[in-house]
Structure 1
Amino acid sequence: MHHVKGTALRSKLFALAVASAFSMAAPPVIAQDAGADTDVSTGVDDGGLFRDIGFSFSGFVRFDSAFHTDSDENPNNQRTNPFNRKNTGRSAFPSAGLGSVANLQESLFPGVAGADIGRLLGSGLDTTIGNLLAAAPGIPSIAPRSTNPGHNDWNLNQLRGKFDVTLTLGSNVSIYSSLRTVYDFGTYDEFERGDSRDTFGNPSAPAGFNQRKSRYFEYADYQDGGGSCVNYLERCGDNYMADFTALYLDVTAGPLLIRMGQQQIAWGQALFFRVFDVPNGLDLRRHLILDDALEEYADERISAPGVRVTWQATDQWEADAYAQMFTPSIYPNANTPYNVIPSQFTVHETWTEKHRGEDFNYGLRLRGNFGNWGLQFIATQRYRHEGTFRWIESGAVKDLPGLPGTGAIMAGTPLEADPTGVWSANEWFTFAGSARLDGVEGLNTLVREFQPFTGLLAGSEIGGSKEAAARELDLFFSIGGGLAAGNLNGGGLRGHLIHEYHKEEVYGAGISYVVEAEPGSLFDQLIINVESHYTPERTFTEKSLSRDFIESDESVTALVMEKYHRWFQEFPATYMVFQALHQSDSDLFGQHLGCQGGTGGDPGTVAGEFNRKTKQCGDNKKGGSNNVVIALMQPFPNYIYRLTGAALLDVEGGLFLQGGFRWSPGNDLTFDFIYNYVDGNLYGDENTNALQAIDFADDFTIRAAYQF
């Protein structure tokens, strides 16, 4: 019901927007008397009713191309999963064999009675036991993940357009519209259903968020099998999108400005960091966070319909308030170049069904200027844009191979037998670590929170032992691959997650100071800005994907120092910025600093049980996350050339470097060359720095644009 209503609302809004844009794109044709606006005494036309109407149009057409420069492919996609076609260890069976049915049951189903195992396996029990005993004397490896490997030379090939229209209706009223269009040519090794087959040669099931042909913009809807556009006033498909980043009416009345319509609200100014930039989420579908850092998320920040009121109360104080339809951050879709969610998991999205057109975010900012000093205060009530993830019932009634009738049981668990899922304990722990999850507790939570169904599948909690967890996981993958049907090579199990959004309140304060020193000196006109915000009981994804989320108070503080300084008389001034960020409870991407999983060929590591009071995991003394940024921009004489650079260091051992060069040869042409380098394992434990999650994303970008 909500989905239908949300779709109808979006269609009406978009139709209204298109009609408005086209009406603004050409001067209005108005029938009137030839002499209606002519002064009869002078014979001069003074414009009359329409003398204050103004019109302007601008924009650009641009081609963006990003060449993949890293030897590592994106591990989160099906065709570039590092486990494809590679044997990996399986620990469900001791290499010396089991010897007897009793030993088999005790090894694989510790503490589970044979009758309970029989309820699961039914008439297939004897056959399964026989298969296990025959195979047990030493299967040290498992058949490799069956997906066809892929290789990508390109991360991005997109044709873009931006069309801005301003219509001035008088000295106090104006309308602004900005339409963005994007087409992705899809020049990558795309995933298709037939690329993944189980060990019986069957392809993956056609349904599901992560199992169809690659979608670059349309967000898959697991519930109805269709797709949707997350943004208001957006139309999208597999390879294209068109949206209004702005479509609003401005009305001024003395010190009051009222802005109504589709808009972005950018309170923050920092590069990479979003301390005060809390009203809107980010759309990461196009180029993740790898665009020009000095653009300050201008292309990523999501617009939404709302009302914003700005009041210049006094010469010193300004108040800025908004109410805006909630729109979440948008992650790249599965099997697209910059995907950050492992594609072995199906995500059930709640945005369309529960929030679209239903929920609003609200906020207020007070800003004061007192000579060289500045003060800011913010207070917002919002739904957190990133949301949380947890296990959910798959709802997929699909029998385990060789075990008829088990589909109803599987539907009550977060697991689904499918070759696009996880194939081994090693794969499970590797992706748990890279996603900042606890692989051992993830299994325990899956078993505990989905009884009695997981119990009927002989699932049991295994405490904190990674070896026991690996044994149980590999057993599940063996059964999921068709062990009961005589297939001893194992197979895939997909995990099902739900994406939910939680209300929170954010309070912040900031202070700035402009240094006055000897004119022309390095410190003269240096702007020092400190911003901090506090969120009580912020909700985070739990590291075992439990429905019992982590709730903790978080503070985020940033120091920003920026300045324009002229080093050489012949060159324009250089823009320089230094930033430092401290987050008490989460990393740069908003993931909680709790227990970590494992990586590599080892079954995995676990730091210990998470203590919600101390926000620590075992003996792991997490003191929050810290990041440092240095950036600069240097134009050349006549502004024909421009150099830019930015470096982001996660002090836990992650580094992001960006270098840029712009050439403006004239004739409204510009060419940008941007190199992005990410090292998520500079030093220390790679699982403890946020940048490891995008370590695969190195690229060299070329932008060719014509502006009008």
Structure 2
Amino acid sequence: MSRTDIGIGRGLLAGVAFAAMTVVTGAQAADYNIQGFIRQEPAIKLTDEENPYNQQGNIYNGVTVTQDSSLLIPAPGAGVTTTTRPIGGADNTFNLMATRLEVDFQANFNSNWNGFARFRGYFQPDIFDSHGDPEFFETDLWSGGRGTFLEANGRNYMVDLPALYLDYSDGPLWLRLGNQQIAWGESLFFRVLDVPNGLDLRRHLLLDLVAEEFADERVAAPGLRGSYRVNNDIEIEGFTQLFSPSVLANPDTPYNVIPSQFTIHQQEGFDDAEWSANVGGRVQAQFGDLALQAIAVNRRNPDGVFHWTDSGDPVLGGTPFSMSSTGVYSAQEWFTYAGMARLNGFTVFNTAIREFQPATGGLGAFEAPNQTLAAAELDYFFQALGPLRGHIARVYPRENIFGVGANYVVGAGPDSFFDQLVIRSEFTWTPDKVFTSPDLSQSHIEEDEYVASLVFEKYHRFSQEFPATFMVLQYLFKSESDMFGRHLDGMGATGARTSGLPSGEDSFNAVAFAVQQPFPNLIWRADFSVLYDLNGGALIQPGLKWKPNEAWTAEAFANITMSDGGNDDIIDTIDWADELTFRITYQF
């Protein structure tokens, strides 16, 4: 990390401090408003399937598995044993049982200056049948275990300021200084132009209401953002913002999606990226019914990429492994979970041997010429050393993203269904984008990635008795990775011990449809959303909202997941997460 990065980061921090002092002290002499809500958010499981990425949901718990290293041991009958993963299963009723408090502070100082702050408190009691005492919110990123910049947390709670900024406007000029989200792009489920910020997955993964478009997940960070309207049709925008990575759900928490047999070393990669800044710009132009935009962003990839790293284990230090009862017990488990993680179980083993010499060679490990021999070698070490954990590091490479977008509003006459239909397209190109390699090599994969979406959006009134129905149909294409950023070369492993390595995919393709229907009195609203991966997985989210008055709101929505398996679609990763979520909100 350069001194320039540190200087930019500390300058942004000073800006946030200035914004905070101005909002707090200036509000006394300004027009201000305070409002907020308190909400209870339970999510009830709809099946008895547990999260397989957690220790107590591991599909090999209590299952007797054969360990076979006989190819390496010539004696007749030698090298064949059995093992049983001794960790007990779980029996959970809920995926979520949280209490949320949010308070907004708005201040108007004069015709040019405004301030805004949002306080968020989130409490998740440990009502879960989980392994050990998992940390729900503490994360090895910012000092003190903070996942985001303006955050304090404990094992079961977090409080943060997702917004703390000053706005300045003077004619065509607008500036925003402070802790803020930057939301670009207008696609449900998909993020094409929405590249400035990462996502915080600790609270409810990506399973909130689709219509909210990542509003609760998008990671805020200190920054300076501004725009200048050249004329009525052209606007230029730019930003610089402190880098803050996406925050993963922790191991053995309900929404964890990384196999808990891994230990993730986050701090070492973040130390290199800490205090660095992202920068970007956007130009928007309006030509009648056609709107165009173009973006350019230089950022650190907030999702990060992963590779094998030294475990630092007292016995197996110098290798990416450590001995632990929470590790992998057999070659069968190894290949099964490699497929689930979109890794190549054969090459990931050989990479661990090759890139950590001489320590691995000193243990007698060697690169296997085929999967069958690799399975035998794995079982040999499991027999000799017991279960092993894998250690991976997360790093955040820089990348340049260039994108364009277009919106067109169709005019087809007031009686036509197509009148006022909005056709929207977004496209980005990331040259030499860095991906996690399916073999977890420290070399990574570098390839140009193209991402595109096509969106049809429409408000239409089908009946004079009902308000207009909102409908949106979308298509997403990605050339090198799936919607979660996993490289397509890792797709399609069957998990078999001696066969079924990843077949890979040429591209990722998905469609989404959403409809929202308010009822005549506007007290009720029905929602329905579907995300379909063309490889055979679907997420269906029906919902209903009831708002009898200004103070109270009740919502219910289900997340129903369906996958045909095969480790080649995105829904397969969350196929255990069928749930019914309720939200009871009191606004003040």
**Could you tell me the TM-score, scaled by structure 1's length?**
0.79
How far residue 143 of structure 1 moved from its aligned partner, in angstroms, is 2.2
Q: Structure 1 residue aligned with 2:383, among 478, 501, 509? A: 478
Q: Assess, with a 3 A threshold, how the Cα gap between structure 1 residues 84 and 227 changes in structure 2: closer, same or farther.
A: farther
In structure 1, runs of 5+ residues without a counterpart are 29-49, 95-102, 108-132, 193-212, 398-406, 482-491, 608-616
Quote the Cα distance in structure 2 between the aligned partners of 1:215 and 1:15. Answer: 29
Task: Provide the rounded CA distance (Å) in 2 between the counterparts of 1:557 and 1:16.
Answer: 39
Q: How far does residue 352 in structure 1 lie from its aligned partner after superposition?
A: 4.3
Amino acid at match of 2:154: G
2:214 corresponds to: 297
- Contact 2:517–2:525 at 8 Å: present in 1 too? yes
For the Cα contact (< 8 Å) 1:432–1:597, is it kept in 2? Answer: no
How far residue 68 of structure 1 moved from its aligned partner, in angstroms, is 1.2
| Alignment partner of 1:453 out of 347, 359, 377 | 359
Give 1:582's aligned residue.
477
Q: Distance in 2 between matches of 1:153 and 1:529?
A: 41
* Residue 185 of structure 1: aligned partner: 125
Compute the displacement of 1:603 (Å). Answer: 4.2
CA RMSD between the two structures: 2.4
Report the residue type matching 1:452 in the other structure: P
Letter of the 1:214 counterpart: P
Q: CA deviation at 1:623?
A: 2.6
1:128 corresponds to: none
1:61 equivalent among 38, 41, 56: 38
Q: Which moved more, 1:148-157 or 1:377-386?
A: 148-157
Q: Are the equivalent residues in 1 in contact too, given 2:66–2:83 (CA < 8 A)? A: no
Amino acid at match of 2:139: Y
Hey, what does 2:233 align to over in structure 1? 316
Matched, 1:274 2:191: yes
Are 2:272 and 1:354 aligned?
yes
Report the Cα distance in structure 1 between the residues aligned to 2:313 and 2:13, rounded to whole angstroms: 31
Residue-by-residue CA offset, 1:200-219 (whole Å, 9 max, x unaligned): xxxxxxxxxxxxx2111111
Which residue pairs with 1:371 in the alignment?
A: 288
Matched residue type, 1:411: G
Does the 8 A contact of 1:426 with 1:604 survive in 2?
no
Answer yes or no: is the 8 Å Cα contact 1:392–1:497 preserved in 2: yes
Partner of 2:320: 414
Q: Cα–Cα, structure 1 residues 12 and 256, in superposed 2: closer, same or farther, change >3 Å?
A: closer
Aligned equivalents of 1:420 and 1:289: distance in 2? 27
Aligned-partner SS, 1:637: coil
Provide closer, same or farther for how the CA distance between residues 8 and 373 of structure 1 changes in structure 2, counting only shifts above 3 A.
closer
Match of 2:548 among 665, 668, 685: 665
Aligned AA for 1:367?
Answer: Q
Q: Which residue pairs with 1:674 in the alignment?
A: 557
Q: Secondary structure at the match of 1:58?
A: strand
Closer, same or farther: CA 302–331 of 1 in aligned 2, 3 Å:
same
Do 2:494 and 2:566's aligned partners in 1 also have CA atoms closer than 8 Å? Answer: no
The Cα of 1:686 is off from its aligned counterpart by: 2.1
Structure richer in strand, relative to its length: 2
Q: Structure 2 vs 1, CA of residues 16 and 138 (structure 1 numbering), >3 Å: closer, same or farther?
A: farther
Q: Given the alignment of the two structures, is residue 497 of structure 1 paired with residue 392 of structure 2, yes or no?
A: yes
Matches of 1:526 and 1:300, distance apart in 2: 29
Task: Give the partner amino acid of 1:77.
Answer: N
Q: What's the CA shift string for 1:262-283, capped at 9, x where partnerless?
A: 0001011100111110000110
Instruction: Identify the residue that residue 542 of structure 1 maps to in structure 2.
Output: 437
Partner of 1:644: 527
CA–CA distance in structure 2, aligned partners of residues 191 and 459 of structure 1: 31
**How far apart, in 2, do the equivalents of 1:256 and 1:17 lie?**
19
| Aligned twin of 2:457 | 562
Measure the CA separation in 2 of the matches of 1:545 and 1:275: 26
Instruction: Indicate the larger mover: 249-258 or 660-669.
Output: 660-669
Match of 1:39 in 2: none
TM-score (norm 2): 0.95
Query: CA separation of 1:558/1:425 partners in 2, compared to 1, >3 Å: closer, same or farther?
Result: same
In the alignment, structure 1 residue 441 sits paired with structure 2 residue 324: no
Offset, 1:237: 1.1
Where does residue 514 of structure 1 map in the other structure? 409
Q: Could you tell me how far 1:678 is from its partner in structure 2?
A: 1.2
1:137 aligned to 77, 97, 113, which one?
77
Residue of structure 2 aligned with 1:217, choices 125, 128, 137: 137
Structure whose alpha-carbon radius of gyration is higher: 1
Q: List 4+ stretches of structure 1 deviating above 3 A.
A: 5-24, 138-141, 595-604
**Deviation of residue 146 (structure 1)?**
1.7
CA distance in 1, matches of 2:356, 2:476: 40
- Determine which of 272, 289, 311 is the counterpart of 1:394: 311
Distance 2:79 2:49 in 1: 30
Contact 2:137 2:147 in 1 (8 A): no
Q: Which amino acid aligns with 2:271?
A: E
Identity among equivalent pairs (%): 41
Q: How does 1:584-623 map to 2 (within 5 A)?
A: 584-596=479-491, 598-600=493-495, 602-607=497-502, 622-623=505-506
**What letter corresponds to residue 327 of structure 1 in structure 2?**
S
Unpaired runs of at least 5, structure 2: none
Contact 1:17 1:233 survives alignment (8 Å):
no
Matched residue of 2:192: which SS? Answer: coil
Residue identity matched to 1:353? D
Cα distance in 1 for partners of 2:402, 2:192 equals: 10
* Cα distance, 1:361 vs structure 2: 0.3
Partners of 2:60 and 2:303 in 1: CA distance: 29
Partner of 1:707 in structure 2? 587
- Supply the distance in 1 between the matched residues of 2:44 and 2:462 (Cα, whole angstroms): 34
With over 3 angstroms needed to count, the CA separation of the structure-2 counterparts of 1:667 and 1:270, relative to structure 1, is closer
- Rounded to whole Å, the distance in 1 between the matches of 2:382 and 2:260 is 17
Shift of 1:149: 1.9
- Aligned residues of 1:429 and 1:604 also touching (Cα < 8 A): no
Q: Counterparts of 1:40-439 in structure 2 under 5 Å?
A: 53-93=30-70, 104=73, 107=74, 137=77, 141-192=81-132, 213-220=133-140, 228-349=145-266, 350=268, 352-356=270-274, 358-397=275-314, 407=315, 410-439=316-345
Inter-partner Cα distance in structure 2 for 1:367 and 1:667:
36
State the Cα distance separating 1:137 from its structure 2 match: 2.4
Indicate which of 693, 697, 706 corresponds to 2:573.
Answer: 693
